[in-house]
């Protein structure tokens, strides 16, 4: 586990504009998470321009989408846009 503000150089080195002091004066991740609570918003998945209705990701358990082949996915889920 890597804590906020203690990211190793092997990680931050990939981001040329990394600002190690960006969050130093603000709230920690834990404080923000506590303040916001368990807010989750459904995300629409567009199944393309074929007129099929959109479904929300929250209707599917992660186990139904992760590491599945096209034929194993729920109806109207595009394998290229599971996120």
In this predicted model, what pLDDT tens digit does every residue of 22-68 receive, in sequence order?
777 777 778 878 888 776 666 666 655 554 455 555 577 778 777 77
Residue 68 forms part of a structural domain: yes
In a domain, 33, yes or no: no
Identify the H or E element spanning 42.
none
Res 12 pLDDT > 80: yes
Overall domain count for the chain: 1
User: Which pair of structure tokens corresponds to residue 50?
Assistant: 């074929």
pTM of the model: 0.31
| 20: in domain | no
CA–CA–CA angle 71, 73, 53 (5° rounding): 115
The parent domain of residue 58 ranges over: 44-81
User: Does some domain include residue 62?
Assistant: yes
- Supply the mean pLDDT for the chain: 75
Q: For residues 56 and 46, what is the distance between their CA atoms, to the nearest angstrom?
A: 9
54 domain residue, yes or no: yes
- pLDDT for res 45: 61
Mean pLDDT for the stretch of residues 5-17: 90
């Amino acid at each position: 586990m890597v804590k906020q503000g203690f990211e190793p150089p092997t990680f931050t080195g990939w981001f040329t504009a990394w600002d190690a002091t960006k969050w130093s004066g603000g709230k920690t991740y834990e404080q923000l998470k506590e303040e916001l609570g368990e807010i989750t918003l459904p995300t629409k998945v567009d199944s393309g321009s074929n007129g099929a209705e959109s479904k929300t990701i929250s209707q599917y358990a992660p186990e139904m989408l992760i590491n599945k082949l096209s034929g194993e996915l729920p109806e109207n889920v595009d394998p290229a846009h599971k996120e």
